[in-house]
Structure 1
C-alpha cells in the first residue's frame, strides 16, 4: 500500500457495530475480493472488497473474516484468515502480511493461515443458527460473474442446508453510509490531493495540449502524494466531448476557444474524492461560456444548502430541477410558456441536465447507501449539477463533496478553485 498506516481502532469499532446488529447465535463471513485475470499470465491490479476493508483494514487478496460473537470457543469469536506466504511468493509477488502485521492493521488478535479455514469453520458452524453472507447489493450495479462470496454461499448451502442464511448487506448499508472521524479524515486527504492535481492542471493547460497529457499530470500528482491512483476512470472532455457524460477516451487535442470538463478524483486508503470542474482551454471564458458556468455554479450552491440531515433524495432532486429550470430559461435554452405546459413526469430541464445531482461517497465512489432513506449526520454526498448543450458543443459540470454534520454541512472541497475569475487568475 502507498498510503500511511491507519489506526486500527476504526476497524475494531466497525466490527463491534456490525456484530451488535446480528441475530443471536449468528456467524458472519466476509471475503476479500477475487483476483481478476487480465491476460494469459497477468491479473488486474487488486482492489479490495470495500465491506471487507471496512471491517478489517486488510488490503490483501485471499483473506477471510469470520465473526461469531456467541461462539462457545472464545478463540473463534473474531478470526482473520490470511494467505500464508513463502519464499517463492516473496520472490515473485513481494511482501505479504505477517500475522503480527495483520494484528496491528486490523486489531484482530486471532489470526490463522487460510488453509485452516475449513477445519475451524466446521468445528464451530454447527453451534450457529444463522449464517450471514456478504453480497453486493449496491443497486447501481449487478455482478454477472459469481464472485467469491456467492461461491462460498453455494458451497455452504450444500454442506449445511438447514442453517438460516442472512444478508450482511442490510446491516452494511446502514453502517457504511455514516462516516466516522477517521473516514472523514481519509476522505479529506483524498480531496486535498485532488485539489493539488487540479491546480497543477490549471497551470499546465493551454491550446494544443491533449486530453491524455492532462490525465498524465493528474495521475502523476496522485501517485506523488501516496494516493492509490484515480478513484475512477478520469473524464478529460474538451469541446463537444463534454456532452458525453461518461467520456473516458481522453485522446483529443484541446482547442483554443473550447471548454474542458474535468471529472476526476484521487483514491487514498480506499476512500474516494469525486470532483468536477469546467475550464477554458485558453484561460479565458467567453461571455456565453461564463454565463452557462455561473448558472451551474448558482444551482450547485443552492443545492448544497439542501444537503442536510432529513433531506429526502427524490424531493431534493425535484427542487434542484425547479432551480435549474429557472436558469435554463434565463440562458434562453427553455421557454417559460413551454415549461408551464410541460408534463411533470417529463420535465423539460432534463434535456440539458439529465443526471442526478448527488450520490453518496465513501469506499465506493457511488457508495453503498439507500436511495430512499433521508440524509443523516455523517453522510458524505457529491453535489454535481451540469448543463450540456449539444448544439453549442458545450458541457459544464461543477462538483464538490459535502459532509453533513449536526450543525449543517461542510464542503470538503471549499478550498478548490471554483469561481470563474479565480480559475482564470490561476491559468493566467
Structure 2
C-alpha cells in the first residue's frame, strides 16, 4: 500500500476452480498474490486495498462467500468473518453478495485502480482467469478511472522473502530431503520411474505436504536429455543414471531439487567425471549469488566456467569455442537452459531480472550437462538464499550431493 499512488485502490481475486468434465474439477490452487497479501486460501475471495479511503473501515476489505450449514456439510465450513480476520488481519469482511454495491461506493472516492495481471517472463496463459474477467468488467463499468498495474510492486515485494517465508521454504526442502533419502534406499535395477515417483509422493504426504511443487521429472537413461520429460513410465536399467527434478511444496511455498544417481549404486568413471564437472560449476555459480549481481551477467560468467569443464571432458575443443556464435555459445550444445531462477510461492517465482540481486532473494542453482550420444544427462540443483554478506545460505545443504556420498548411501 505504501507504494501505491495517491487516492488509488488495488483489487485481487482468487483463482477459478477449473472443471475437468462432468462434475470433476482440478484441485483448487489459490492465486499467489491474494494469498501473499492476505493468507486467505479460499475460492471466490476478493481483497481490496484503498489506503487513502476517507472511510477508515474501507482501507482494507475482504469479500468472502457466505458460509452456511449446507456448505459446511457438503464441502466443509468456509471462513467466517472472525476466522478471516484471524487469518488475514483484515478487520472489514463483507460477504461477496455485497461486493458490487460497496465497490461502486469506493470507486466514486478514488481516481486510480491497480489491476492484478500476470507478467512473469515465462507466463503463457491461454485461458481467461477469474482475474481477467474481473479486469474486463471493471474497465467497462468504470471507463473514466485511470488504470495501473500492481504487478511491478508485487514482483519487487515477492522476490525479497520475509524470514517466515524462508522458514516455510526450509520445511519444504526438509521434506524433499526425506523423500530423496527414501529413494536412495529404494532404487535398484528394474524399478520403474513411476514407482520412484510413488515413493516420493508417499514421503511428501506423510510430512503434510500436498505433494510435488511442480510436475515431477524422473528421467532414467536418455530420458534425462529431454529437459521437461514428465512421462515417468520407463524402467530403470543397470548402468543407467536417473535424473530427478522433484521437490515438495509446503504451505503453498515451493522447493526445487535436482539430483542424478546411478541405478545400480555406482557411477562409471565417465559418469562420475561429468557429474563432478556439473557439481563444480554449481559450487562456483553459487558463490556469485550475492547482493548487486545482475542475473544476465551472472549467466555469462557461469557459461565461461561450464565451457572450461566441457573442454576438460573432451566434449568441446578450442576450435568450437573460437568459432562460437556469441548469441548461442558453444557450451549451449550441452547446457541449454538457465542456471538460476527466483523461487518462492511459485517454483519460477516473481522477480524483476533486470534489477540487481538483493539479500533474502531465493534462487535455484541448477547447471547440467546433457549428452544424448552417451545416453545420459546430469543436472544438480539446490535452493539458496542471498545473504547480506558472504555466500548464500543453502536450504538444501543437508541433501546428499557428492558422488561418493551418493554411492555410499545407495550401498549401505
The corresponding residue for 1:232 is 214
- Counterpart in 1 of 2:80? 98
CA contact (8 A) 1:31 1:65 kept: yes
Task: Name the structure 2 match of 1:171.
Answer: 153
Residue 395 (structure 2) pairs with residue 412 (structure 1): yes
Confirm or deny that 1:331 pairs with 2:295.
no
Between the aligned partners of 1:342 and 1:140, the Cα distance in structure 2 is: 27
Q: Which region of structure 1 is more displaced relative to structure 2, 84-93 or 225-234?
A: 84-93
Unaligned runs of 5+ in 2: none
Q: How far did residue 160 of structure 1 move?
A: 1.2
Q: SS at the partner of 2:157?
A: helix
Q: Is the 8 A contact 2:68 2:77 kept in 1?
A: no
Separation of aligned partners in 2, 1:346 and 1:136: 29
| In structure 1, C-alpha distance between the alignment counterparts of 2:232 and 2:368, rounded to whole Å | 20
Contact conserved, 1:211 with 1:252, CA < 8 A, in 2? yes
Contact kept? 2:371, 2:377, Cα under 8 Å: yes
Task: Give a deviation string over 1:304-353, Cα, whole Å, max 9, x none.
Answer: 00011111111111111111111111111111232123222221110000
1:75 aligned to 32, 49, 57, which one?
57
Partner of 1:143: 125
User: 2:331 matched to 1:349?
Assistant: yes
Cα shift at 1:411: 0.9
Instruction: State the distance in 1 between where 2:137 and 2:42 align.
Output: 23
1:421 and 2:384 are equivalent in the alignment: no
Deviation sequence 1:374-418 (CA, Å, 0-9, x none): 111110000000000000111000000010011231111111100
- Distance in 2 of aligned mates of 1:87 and 1:43: 23
Q: Give the CA deviation at 1:43.
A: 1.1
TM-score of the superposed pair, with normalisation by structure 1: 0.94
1:379 aligns with 2:352: no
User: Matches of 2:45 and 2:322 in 1, distance apart?
Assistant: 58
- CA deviation profile, 1:80-108 (whole Å, cap 9, x unmatched): 11111222222221221122111111111
Does residue 304 (structure 1) correspond to residue 278 (structure 2)? The answer is no
- The CA distance in 2 between the partners of 1:110 and 1:389, in whole Å, is 58
Matched with 1:4 is none
The answer (yes or no) to whether the contact 1:136–1:142 under 8 Å persists in 2 is no
Q: Report the CA distance between 1:159 and its aligned residue.
A: 1.7
CA contact (8 A) 1:190 1:272 kept: yes
Bigger drift between 366-375 and 140-149 goes to: 140-149
**Aligned residue-pair number:** 410
Residue 69 of structure 2 is aligned to residue 87 of structure 1: yes
Query: Within 2, Cα distance between the matches of 1:74 and 1:372?
Result: 37
| Equivalent in 72, 82, 92 of residue 110 of structure 1 | 92
Structure 2 residue matching 1:100: 3-state secondary structure: helix
Once the two structures are overlaid, the 10-residue window that deviates more, 333-342 or 233-242, is 333-342
1:196 to 178, 181, 205: 178
How large is the Cα RMSD of the aligned pairs? 0.9
**Cα displacement string for residues 240-274 of structure 1 (whole angstroms, at most 9, x for unaligned residues):** 10000000000011111100000011110111000
Counterpart of 2:348 in structure 1 is 366
Normalised by the length of structure 2, the TM-score is: 0.98
Distance 1:328 1:219 in 2: 35
Query: Within the alignment, does 1:322 sit opposite 2:285 as a pair?
Result: no
> Which residue is equivalent to 1:263?
245
What SS does the aligned partner of 1:353 have? Answer: coil
Secondary structure at the aligned position of 2:386 is classed as strand
Task: Return the alpha-carbon distance in structure 2 between the equivalents of residues 294 and 144 of structure 1.
Answer: 41
